[in-house]
């Protein structure tokens, strides 16, 4: 796991999201990774689940809600 200042861990790395799937934004047809979720070492060790739901970046409909894709995590924060 890669730590940021030794206190926070990027869930993309903790959950082994492939680099090609880490994007959450599309600009001029270039996928970009702008959104991150960081967790503590204790939560990272409890088997978190994480996914970027690509519903907005490739949406060409006028009813687009956001220009970013949502990221969803399932975290075990109980003892």
Q: How many CA atoms lie within 13 A of 10 on its CB side?
A: 14
Beta carbons of 26 and 55 less than 8 angstroms apart: no
Task: Look at the chain and report how many structural domains it folds into.
Answer: 1
Domain limits for position 30: 3-74
Burial bucket for residue 31 (CB in 10 Å: 0-12, 13-18, 19+): middle
User: Considering the domain boundaries, does residue 79 fall inside one?
Assistant: no
Q: Would you state the pLDDT for residue 50?
A: 96
Q: What is the mean pLDDT of residues 23-38?
A: 87
61: confidence class by pLDDT, cuts 50, 70, 90: low
Chain-centroid distance, C-alpha 46:
17
User: Considering the domain boundaries, does residue 31 fall inside one?
Assistant: yes
Q: Which two tokens stand for residue 72?
A: 């969803």
User: Considering the domain boundaries, does residue 24 fall inside one?
Assistant: yes
């Amino acid at each position: 796991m890669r730590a940021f200042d030794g206190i926070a861990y990027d869930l993309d790395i903790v959950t082994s999201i492939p680099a090609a799937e880490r994007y959450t934004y599309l600009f001029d047809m270039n996928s970009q990774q702008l959104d991150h979720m960081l967790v503590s070492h204790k939560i990272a060790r409890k088997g978190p689940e994480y996914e970027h739901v690509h519903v907005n970046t490739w949406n060409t409909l006028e009813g687009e809600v956001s220009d970013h894709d949502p990221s969803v995590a399932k975290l075990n924060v109980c003892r």
